[in-house]
Amino acid sequence: MHDSGHLLVDRLQALLKTPAIRSFSCAAILECELRLQRSGNASPWRRVKPIAMNPRPDLTRLWRYNLSGWRTWAVLLISFASGSLLTARLMHFKEVRADSNRVFQLEIYHAVPGKVPALEERFRGASKLQAKYNLDVVGYWVPIDSTFGNSNPAFANTFVYLVAHASQEDAKKNWDGFHADPAFQEYVKSEKAEKLIEGVDSTFMRPADYSAMK
């Protein structure tokens, strides 16, 4: 019995010297047990089985755990990316279908000879008012002289722009709002004060089925 007590003391001393045990709070319990063994008193933990401590982590189990975690995150990331891509494709498809129903309005302004630069400048301000009323202007153009031949006199002194509408009904609604705006009346007064426009040719167009813009 005495030898077994010494044997237990030796085992506890060896266990206390390990770095792993010193890093845990149970080291205090083991040290208390050691003191009780030295004093010959009965240990209150005599019936408690010692906890098996492994100072070295199970690297294989840790590697498997980390690998499992990375697999989970990889699956979640791929699922999120796939869902985002699918959503973007569906939104683009809806936009293309919506755009395919558009109509285009070609506006050709015939300016007073020599007044195209002034008309171009007037539309610089008017373009902001057009955007306010959802008049989606694709672009504004001023014809230039042809380099490879005589210029077309039909396009002399013209200012051209193209408007995209969701429908002809929307076009009418948006133009009505544009013309009713007090800011537009200022352009009317400006035209009366200095005539820039001799006439306007306007037409609605639909895109051909092979057109890149629809």
Residue closest to 201 by CA, chosen among 165, 169, 168, 155: 155
Higher pLDDT, 42 or 159: 159
Q: Residue 108 class from Cβ within 10 Å (0-12 exposed, 13-18 middle, 19+ buried)?
A: middle
Stretch (H or E) spanning 179: helix 168-180
Higher pLDDT, 152 or 72: 152
Over residues 51-73, the mean pLDDT reads 56
Higher pLDDT, 89 or 155: 155
What local confidence, expressed as pLDDT, does residue 153 receive? Answer: 80
Higher pLDDT, 50 or 205: 205
User: In the predicted model, is pLDDT for residue 96 greater than 70?
Assistant: no
Q: What is the mean pLDDT of the chain?
A: 75
Class assignment of domain 102-205?
A: alpha beta
What local confidence, expressed as pLDDT, does residue 45 receive? Answer: 47
Report yes or no: 191 and 115 within 8 Å, Cβ to Cβ: no
pLDDT tens-place string over residues 147-192 = 555 667 878 899 999 999 999 999 999 999 999 999 999 999 999 9
What local confidence, expressed as pLDDT, does residue 40 receive? Answer: 59
